[in-house]
Amino acid sequence: MDALGDLLRGVRADGALFNRTVLTRPWETHRAEGAALELITVVRGSVRVSVAPDETRTLREGGAAIVCTKAPFTLATVGNECELVSGSYQLDSSVGRRLISTLPPLLAVPSGEECMPIVELIAAEIAADRPGRQYVMDRMLDWMLACTLREWFDLPEACPPAWYRALGDDVVGPALHAMHDEPARPWTVAALAARAQVSRAVFARNFTDLVGRPPMAYLTEWRMTLAAELLAEPGATVASVAGQVGYADGFGFSDAFKRIRGIAPSAYRASLTTGKTGASRTTGTAGASPASGNTASGPALRVAG
């Protein structure tokens, strides 16, 4: 099981929104784009990112931040000039929401050479007008998100979810790996305890203590998360998805899905189809609005598919 890979399942940019901004002197701007997740990287200079008075991070060249809130947040230059590249996701899949629920409102990673090549490529792609531009930039944003999250999860001060930390536990870890690798398998507490090579009582107690919920409750929630993603695929049916997440018939699956998600799987799938049919996209440019009379120079380009 790749825990980070599971968090990123279904998170795929499609018509991502990008900004490239060059600030020539210190100023602040408030952005309220309604994006569920925004990734900010520093090409040169330094910037201070604030989502609240007590939630502020300073980024230097090569640094990156993920803002995981729909509330307005503040960017302020630190020094005479700063160049930023930012990309926004509108995450509406269930797995996307799982990622959002995992992350704090603001996380930051220090400057690192690993991600700088993709940052420079994104900046160059924004300035270009080449065929397939939007598709290329979408994939670059996915790459940059994965790169940033991988670095953040490795930081000592990171606060990943309980199940992520529990992966390293000798008792709970093997069971979590098994659940994620084979969600359709007819798991029982006894079978999972056997994977952990401990008694059922020890396994159940340790799992609940570390993950925050009993093993079978966690398994059901994970299956329903995957089911919501599968229901969004073309041609999916309730019966076919039920089998993929470990249910012998659609009735038991539908009951579990409605209990966990609050909506029947058929209705959930219909809502996704309606949302996609009614969605529209626009193309345009947008500059940052300065505060306190200061100005920004250089391109500030919004690319929307």
**Segment 82-109, tens digit of pLDDT:** 888 888 887 766 667 778 878 888 999 9
Residue 280 lies in a domain: no
Residues 31 and 121 in one domain: yes
d(CA 12, CA 161): 21
pLDDT-based confidence at residue 211 (cuts at 50, 70, 90): very high
pLDDT at 35 over 90: no
Mean pLDDT across the chain? 80
Is the pLDDT score of 277 beyond 50? Answer: no
Query: How confident is the model over 42-71, as pLDDT tens digits?
Result: 988 999 998 887 889 999 988 999 998 877
Say yes or no: 126 and 186 in one domain.
no
User: How high is the pLDDT of residue 299?
Assistant: 34
* 228 three-class SS: helix
Would you say 22 and 299 are in contact if contact means Cβ atoms under 8 Å apart? yes
Question: Which of the four pLDDT bands, split at 50, 70 and 90, describes residue 289?
Answer: very low
Q: Tell whether 62 and 182 lie within a shared domain.
A: no
User: What pLDDT score was predicted for residue 176?
Assistant: 92
The arithmetic mean of pLDDT across residues 230-243, rounded, is: 91
Identify which of 17, 86, 35, 20 has the alpha carbon closest to the alpha carbon of residue 303: 17
Q: What is the DSSP letter of 208?
A: H
pTM above 0.85, yes or no: no
Q: Is the pLDDT of residue 294 over 50?
A: no
**Structural domain contains residue 281:** no
What CA–CA distance (Å, rounded) separates 192 from 203?
8
DSSP class of 297: B
What's the number of domains the chain is made of?
A: 2
pLDDT at 95 (0 to 100): 64
Does the pLDDT value for residue 118 go beyond 50?
yes
Which CATH number fits the domain that encloses residue 42? 2.60.120.280
Please answer whether residues 140 and 122 qualify as being in contact, where contact means their C-beta atoms are separated by less than 8 angstroms.
yes
Q: Is the pLDDT of residue 256 over 80?
A: yes
* pLDDT score of 246 more than 60: yes
Last residue of a domain, one of 114, 131, 153: 153
Per-residue pLDDT, 108: 92
Q: Which of 95, 124, 153 is the last residue of a domain?
A: 153
User: Is residue 293 assigned to a domain?
Assistant: no
Task: Give the whole-angstrom CA distance, residue 197 versus residue 187.
Answer: 15
Q: Answer whether 74's CB lies under 8 Å from 87's CB.
A: no
Q: Does 254 have pLDDT greater than 60?
A: yes
What pLDDT is attached to residue 28?
66
Task: Map residue 107 onto helix, strand or coil.
Answer: strand
- Residue 175 CA to residue 203 CA, distance in Å, equals 9
**Residue 124, domain extent:** 3-153
- The per-residue pLDDT for 113 is 63
Considering the domain boundaries, does residue 294 fall inside one? no
Answer whether residue 283 is part of any domain: no
pLDDT at 64: 92
Name the percent of the chain lying above pLDDT 70.
82
Residues 140 and 18 in one domain: yes
- Is 176 contained in some domain? yes
* Cα–Cα–Cα angle for 127, 131, 137, rounded to 5 degrees: 55
Overall average pLDDT of the 133-162 stretch: 84
> Are residue 175 and residue 192 in the same domain, yes or no?
yes
| CATH number for 208 | 1.10.10.60
Same domain, 90 and 231: no
**Looking at the structure, do residues 106 and 208 belong to the same domain, yes or no?**
no
